[in-house]
Chain A
Amino acid sequence: MIPYLTRRAMHSAFALLGLIIAVFFLARLTGDPTDLFLPVDASREDRIEFARKHGYDRPATEQFVHFVGDVMEGNLGFSLRKQRPAVEVVLEAYPTTLKLAGVTLLIGISLAIVVGALAAYRTGGWFDRMGSTLALVGASAPDFWVAITAILFFSVSLHWLPTSGTGGILFWIMPVTVLALRPFGLLVQVVRGAMLDALASAYVKTARAKGVSESAVIFVHALRNACLAVVTVAGNLAVGLINGAVIVETVFGWPGVGKLMIDAVIQRDFAVVQASIMVTAIAIFLMNVLIDLLYAALDPRIRHQ
């Protein structure tokens, strides 16, 4: 188990390192970094001063060593718009996004497991067809459009829900639903497929032959193994969720990291963009390690490797 985990962690760490290098070189090689960091209307003197202060006039290799050192220390630049270290700004926005993503994942996963399992249990039945169609629509719908349509319907026409902002439970309903749509669509298909395989497997036949009750066969034997499939796609799912969060936060005005990043792009505040990228990459690295641990805990074949 330890070699497996070390290997996986090394892979994730390599990905993290690759991203740091990519961000550095993209920012340096595509043009003068002062153009990225400073506003368009900055004066020539300001640019020269800024370049000297941050070492942008030195050779690229020296800059890279400096950059990696800064990243290790958590120094990711200074937000020009907010006049504060960019890391602080990003870390302040993170809890909002994590809360939104957490609630969405919880609801999306549990709902998808129930729907996927029931659909697989009666393949071709009305529930299977309905569930599969719903999953397909969920996976195909543009989230920003669903969000706007929901605002139009539930806020503008019916006045049931607030259009945007944060607050009580009413503010959560639309963002969570819209954000859950795509993971739900994906997961239903995954769970249904895994469940079909599990129900056709030898251990389920053995359990049935032993006279184990039908509910125990489904919930103890088949579903538990089908749930492993959910853990396998959990990493992709969480990464995809951040994509969705960018859109949902922008449309519903949630002060999370997605909205922060889009605002920073529009205001051309590169330090914040760079810091959001780095913090997100580190968060994903930690999550991947966590998922591997969970997978090893759930699957004895990996534990005893």
Chain B
Amino acid sequence: MSDPVNSVTNTAVPVDNVTNTAVTADTRSIAAQAEMVTVRTGLPWWQLLARDRLALCSAAWLVFLLVCMAFGPEFLGKAATDINLRARNTPPGSTEQGWLMILGSDALGRSMLARLVVASRNTLTVAFTSVVLALIVGGVLGLIAGYVGRGVGNLIMRLSDVIQSFPSLLLAVVVLYMLEPRVANLIIVLAVTRIPSYLRVARAEVLEVRERGFVDAARAMGASRTHILWRHVLPIVAPTLLTIMTVDFAVVMLSESGLSFLGIGIQPPEITWGLMVAQGHNHLTQAWWLAFLPGLAIMSATLSANLLSNWLRLITDPVQRWRLEAPKADS
């Protein structure tokens, strides 16, 4: 996932990874400095990330969640289903019942921490898969709509209008009513509702890029349509699509959680964070943490994704990028 971003953000920069602060630059010869000034067009993306504390924290948190998703259920799967009636409704913040109860326990004495970790797999997998599916389908359709032009393009756009002009949650509710609320169906429905945003952006960018000189040059040299789209147009469109992907990750996670909360998404005994909020809703007055903590988990993930997408938008925008590249004035 990070590869296309990387390749674009470093436009022409395999120069050096030495920091560009004034201090190190001063110790070099004037010629070297002059060379640095002319050659340096940007920092590698990890240095840019390190400069933005909020984005760095968000990225770290998302990586942590991914680790939970990948390995958590194997380690804590048993703890999440173990019933311990002696530890029923333990409030969070005490380790008297063991460290697994640090975030409290539910009415059956199951560890909240373990349940949150196990639920992260369903929640994040559904969101991530839907977004990737929407990205691929929407991106390809957008490239076609933009490059092939009128007839097919218009048809694709009208289809996206149909999807976009209707509330995504209602669409998902109806489809999941008609089909079974299985994970695969849920992913497809969520992906379909997100396709238009990729489609539109991809098409708009292609319409602009196809008029540029290098596309004309490639065409004049006899490159095929697929080659031009794949090698010349896609690399320019990709960073924008990836930025939308991070925002969409948050949007889809909220939709999935909402559906689970309404009881139309993933069904018990599987758990997701949204479903945990719904289950905790019934015990609100006795054990507030049952509904509060899973919601906090959702919020932490969506907020991180949104912060990260803001940062991505900043570094992929040549007009805004200097804000991160310029040496900090106060340090």
Residues of A within 8 A of B (CB): 11-12, 14-16, 18-19, 22-23, 26-27, 30-31, 36, 136-137, 139-146, 148-149, 151-152, 156, 235-236, 239-240, 242-243, 246-247, 250, 261-262, 265-266, 268, 270, 273, 276-277, 280-281, 284-285, 288
**Which of the candidate stretches B60-68, B91-99, B140-148, B292-300 sits at the interface with the other chain?**
B292-300
Question: Any chain A CB within 8 A of the CB of B177?
Answer: yes
When chains A and B are docked, how far (Å) is the Cα of A265 from the Cα of B170? 11
Inter-subunit contact B264/A265 (CB<8 Å): yes
- Tell yes or no: B12 within 8 A of A by CB: no
Contacts of B77 in A (CB 8 A): none
Determine if B299 and A140 form an interchain contact, defined as CB atoms under 8 angstroms apart.
Answer: yes
Query: Which residue from B158, B261, B295 sits with its C-beta under 8 Å from A14?
Result: B158
Q: A18-B161, A136-B303, A239-B164 are in contact. List 5 more A-B contacts (CB 8 A).
A: A16-B165, A142-B302, A148-B295, A242-B167, A265-B173
Interface residues of B in 249-263 (CB under 8 A from A): 250, 254-255, 257-258, 261-263
> Would you call the interface of chain A mostly helix, strand, loop, or mixed?
helix
Per DSSP, chain B at the interface is helix
Cβ of A27 and Cβ of B295 under 8 Å apart?
A: no
B284:A142 contact, CB within 8 angstroms: no
Assess the A247–B170 pair: CB atoms within 8 A.
Answer: no
Query: Can you spell out 5 A-B residue pairs with CB atoms less than 8 angstroms apart?
Result: A15-B165, A22-B162, A140-B254, A144-B261, A243-B170
Supposing A14-B158, A15-B162, A140-B306 touch, asked if A240 and B262 sit within 8 A by C-beta, the answer is: no
Q: State the Cβ distance, A201 to closest chain B Cβ, in Å.
A: 15
Residues of B within 8 A of A270 (CB): 177
Contacts of B173 in A (CB 8 A): 246, 261-262, 265, 273
Contact B263 A145 (CB under 8 A): no
CB distance from A280 to the nearest CB of B (A): 6
The 9 closest A-B pairs by CB, nearest first: A145-B295, A18-B162, A243-B169, A140-B302, A242-B167, A140-B303, A15-B165, A15-B161, A15-B162
* Pairwise interchain contact A239-B166, C-beta atoms closer than 8 A: yes
State whether the Cβ of B179 lies closer than 8 Å to any Cβ in chain A.
yes
Contact A23 B299 (CB under 8 A): no
Does B274 sit within 8 A of A, measured CB to CB? yes
CB distance from B290 to the nearest CB of A (A): 10
